[in-house]
Amino acid sequence: MLHNVKDNYIISVKDHVSQFEEKSFRKLASNDFKSWPSPREETWRLSRLGFLSRKEITPIKPNLKKQISSVSKFKGSKIIRFVDGALREDLSSKLPQGASLKILGEKDSLRCFHKFKDSNLKNHPSTNVSFSCTPSIVKLTIEKDVKIKDLFEIIYEGGDDYTSVHPALYIELKDNSIITIIERFNHLSSLIMPLQLVELKKNASINSLKIFNDNQQSYNLSANCTFLSEKSNYNSFSLIKGGLFTRSETHAYLKGENCNLNLNGVYLSCKNQHHDLTTAIYHDVPNCTSKQIVRGVLGGKSTGVFQGKVRVAPDAQKTDGQQMSRAILLSENAIANAKPELEIYADDVICAHGATVGEIDDDQLFYLKSRGISEKKAKQILIRAFLKDIINESVEESIQNYVFEEAELALSEIISKEI
Amino acid sequence: MGNLNYLTNIGRKMPLLEIKNAKLKLDNKDILKGLSLSVNRGEVHAIMGPNGSGKSTLSYMLAGRDGYELASGEVFLEGQSLSDMEADERARSGLFLAFQYPVELPGVGGMSFLREAVNSRRKFLGEEELDHLAFVKEARKVASKMFVKDEMLKRAVNVGFSGGEKKRFEILQMAMLKPKVSILDETDSGLDVDALKIVSDGVNAQRNDENAIVVITHYQRLLDYIVPDFVHILSDGNIIKSGGPELALEVEKNGYAGLINAA
């Protein structure tokens, strides 16, 4: 019986693409989806997907009249909405000059698909499944020299029991453009497989904040592939707090000299949640910097995973790559895994990494207690500070409070149970 | 009423801090070996000793750090036994430890930290907690006397502070918390002469007839600025000699070796 069920999703995906021509990128993608990754594959060893093969899931048919539930938290922000994985222009804002949204045709979609297939995300299940099943690939373009002042908010919602959702977004920032984008994942119980391709052209800058806040019956397998050109800047912060199983995987290719990448993140996990931040940074050229700070707070029977790979190519001299991960376990039954992976083939580089998993720092706790602050209160102060510290360092000042409030919602739940 | 007065007088005659035959082991090694000390109101005691004599252990033991519980003996703060009290309860009851190495608290703002500490103590004393505005006003007033700039209170506690700033911030906390007994653990370490003077002035300003200060130090230098009433020499887990300020000068002149050998 089991093997029949196992084949169901593959069959559903094939069904979904049957309507398209043989040569379409969807067919190509679906051909590569043969099974869920095996736990024997190194990058999936700590985040196993076997349970998905035992679920009867079918790709969602987007309901273009679906009511929305998420409201914007920012006055005057420009909103782009995806519901059931499909762009809802009727529910999105008119974009300012220099910014545009477009649904890609077959040819451009194919190009997009190949960018993923040329990257190390080629075998990621979301790559193969979402290119097969996405309603459309949406492209957001910021024109040359345009500095967007408005905050862009991309809200992904929808989903339904036993369905999979496939939003696909391609963001292109042309030379010297700047933007800040907040993305929120707010799906109902479903399997969400977002695809994102980001291309930063010369001297372009993006501040990206992602909040994974799908409901606690959801699975999110986000795949992001980013290319940085000369002097470009990608400053990204992910807050993972929702879902039963959320994995955010980002692969960043530093292709032009003097570019700068920050891939920071926080996961806040409780109950039986499984949260995974997986990153791969490829320093292919000299004189670039990358930095990663990842922190996690875990309670209940939750699991946190951080996998950070940094590859420095033989030619990428003068690379400065820093990586630091720290997880605090508030429960005896919580598990945190940290797996730094440094592959350095150049000799004139600065690369540092460190990973710790543990409890609240004894010295800090004693210091607070020695000032008359109760142990309970002291722990709360230290956990909040642990997050505040990285949030302040990672996101721009105008949205720090917002991020902290978002984190606080999950944190207060963990704290109330564990401290 | 008469009875109450009688009780109060008893309380006043009682030492503020009393250590009785304190024995403590760390990793199965005897560190404190039956140390006794009595500190009265209005007194400043200096405890001097060479490295490894048990000075820091003594301060952690008094402050109630986990793992520094007494194997035997007892400590009383105003007649009340500390043995069953956690570090935070001891602090709220009026015991203060100025750290040799103040701990950095990234992400914890100086002002909110101070307020949390002060309000914990006020609540314990049955005083009203200070609201934000009243507190900030009070903190700034005290801070300016300690040459602690406003800007320092906005930063995370001890993060990126110089050695002098850290010690000044410790003494600022002492001034805000108004403890009965303050233990200054190697407060002079890492300070240049100017910083030493500022910190000492801060401590001296808080000396009064109601509180007591225990200065733990390796060098005599600090005692030029904070002049003690009594000096005790700590060696190998015990006080081997007690005297007046002149004892510190003797240490300065002859080193610890002479005293220890004589004892």
What φ, ψ does residue A62 adopt, rounded to 5°? -55, 135
Cβ-count burial B174-208 (b if 16+ within 10 Å, e if not): bbbbbbbbbbbbbbbeebeeebbebbbebbeeebe
DSSP A360-395: S-HHHHHHHHTTT--HHHHHHHHHHHHHHHHHHHHS
Distance, CA of B129 to CA of A285 (rounded, Å): 58
CA distance B152 to chain A (A): 17
Nearest CA in chain A to B116: A373
Q: Residue A385 is nearest to which of B105, B120, B173, comparing CB atoms? A: B105
The residue among A369, A387, A391 with the most chain B CBs within 10 A of its CB, best to mutate, is A369
3-state secondary structure of A138: strand
Q: Does residue B242 carry a pLDDT above 50?
A: yes
> Which positions in chain A have a beta carbon within 8 angstroms of at least one beta carbon in chain B?
362-364, 366-375, 377-378, 381-382, 384-389, 392
Q: Residue B86 is nearest to which of A375, A384, A385, comparing CB atoms? A: A375
Q: Which residue did the predictor score with more confidence, A128 or A75?
A: A128
What's the pLDDT at B13? 73
What's the pLDDT at A51? 87
What's the pLDDT at B258? 81
CA distance A275 to chain B (A): 24
**Which residues in chain A have their CB less than 8 angstroms from residue B91's CB?**
369-373
CA–CA–CA angle B133, B138, B141 (5° rounding): 125
Cβ count near B228 (within 10 Å): 22
Q: Which residue did the predictor score with more confidence, A7 or B177?
A: B177
User: What is the pLDDT averaged over residues B49-57?
Assistant: 92
pLDDT > 70 in chain A, percent: 98
Q: What is the dihedral of CA A382, A383, A384, A390, to 10 degrees?
A: 100
CB contact under 8 A, B105 and A373: no
**CA B228: distance to chain centroid?**
14
Q: Does residue A299 carry a pLDDT above 90?
A: yes
Amino acid at A1: M
Nearest CA in chain A to B174: A371
CB contact under 8 A, A364 and B103: yes
Residues whose CB is less than 8 angstroms from the CB of residue A22 and which lie 6 or more positions away in sequence, other chains included = none
Q: Residue B63 is nearest to which of A370, A381, A387, comparing CB atoms? A: A370
Q: Does residue B36 carry a pLDDT above 70?
A: yes
Q: Measuring CA to CA, how many Å separate A411 from each of A383, A395, A415, B195?
A: 9, 18, 6, 41
Amino acid at A148: I
Strand partners, A282: A253, A311
What's the pLDDT at B10? 55
CB contact under 8 A, A372 and B117: yes
Domain ranges of chain B: 14-108+182-262
CA distance A212 to chain B (A): 23
Distance, CA of A175 to CA of B187 (rounded, Å): 56
CB contact under 8 A, A385 and B106: yes
CA distance B4 to chain A (A): 29
What's the pLDDT at B9? 53
CB contact under 8 A, B105 and A384: no
Q: Does residue A82 carry a pLDDT above 70?
A: yes
Identify the residue whose tokens are 């530093």. Answer: A254
User: What is the pLDDT averaged over residues B18-37?
Assistant: 96
B133: left (phi over 0), alpha (psi -120 to 50) or beta: alpha
User: What is the pLDDT averaged over residues A320-330?
Assistant: 96
- Mean pLDDT score across all residues of chain B: 92
CB contact under 8 A, B108 and A371: no
Q: Which of A248-252, A385-389, B1-5, B56-60 has the lowest mean pLDDT?
A: B1-5
- Element (DSSP H or E) covering residue B38: strand B29-39
What φ, ψ does residue A88 adopt, rounded to 5°? -115, 90
Binned at pLDDT 50, 70 and 90, residue B252 comes out as: confident
CA distance B221 to chain A (A): 26
Residues whose CB is less than 8 angstroms from the CB of residue A242 and which lie 6 or more positions away in sequence, other chains included = A185, A186, A212, A213, A214, A215, A216, A218, A220
The residue among A328, A364, A366, A375 with the most chain B CBs within 10 A of its CB, best to mutate, is A366
Q: Residue B108 is nearest to which of A362, A372, A385, comparing CB atoms? A: A385
What's the pLDDT at A59? 96
CATH no. for B14-108+182-262: 3.40.50.300
Q: Residue A370 is nearest to which of B87, B107, B156, comparing CB atoms? A: B87
Per-residue pLDDT reduced to its tens digit, A83-141:
999 999 999 999 999 999 999 999 999 999 999 999 999 999 999 999 999 999 999 99
CA distance B248 to chain A (A): 29
User: What is the pLDDT averaged over residues B35-45?
Assistant: 97
Q: Any idea what DSSP says for residue A140?
A: E
CA distance A341 to chain B (A): 27
CB contact under 8 A, B120 and A364: no
Amino acid at A56: E
Nearest CA in chain B to A367: B103
User: What is the pLDDT averaged over residues B111-135?
Assistant: 94
User: What is the pLDDT averaged over residues B185-211?
Assistant: 92
CB contact under 8 A, B91 and A387: no
Q: Residue B108 is nearest to which of A362, A370, A381, comparing CB atoms? A: A381
Contact criterion met (CB below 8 Å) for A162 and A193: no
Nearest CA in chain B to A381: B108
Q: Which of A2-11, A42-51, A329-338 has the lowest mean pLDDT?
A: A2-11
Q: Does residue B12 carry a pLDDT above 90?
A: no
Q: Does residue A257 carry a pLDDT above 60?
A: yes
CA distance A387 to chain B (A): 8
Q: Which residue did the predictor score with more confidence, A55 or A142?
A: A142
CA distance B10 to chain A (A): 27
Nearest-10 crossing angle of helices A106-118, A125-133: 170
Distance, CA of A328 to CA of A375 (rounded, Å): 16
> Which positions in chain B have a beta carbon within 8 angstroms of at least one beta carbon in chain A?
63-66, 86-88, 91-92, 96-97, 99, 102-103, 105-108, 113, 116-117, 120-121, 124, 156, 173, 177
Q: Does residue B229 carry a pLDDT above 60?
A: yes
Per-residue pLDDT reduced to its tens digit, A206-222:
999 999 999 999 999 99
- Mean pLDDT score across all residues of chain A: 95
**Which residues in chain B have their CB less than 8 angstroms from residue A371's CB?**
88, 91, 113, 116-117, 120, 173, 177
CA–CA–CA angle B38, B95, B19 (5° rounding): 25
- Element (DSSP H or E) covering residue B142: helix B132-145
What's the pLDDT at A2? 41
Amino acid at B252: E
What's the pLDDT at B259? 82
Nearest-10 crossing angle of helices B110-125, B163-177: 30
pTM over 0.95: no
User: What is the pLDDT averaged over residues A319-331?
Assistant: 96
User: What is the pLDDT averaged over residues A258-284?
Assistant: 98
What's the pLDDT at A22? 87
Q: What is the dihedral of CA B244, B247, B252, B254, to 10 degrees?
A: 170
CB pairs under 8 A between A and B: 77
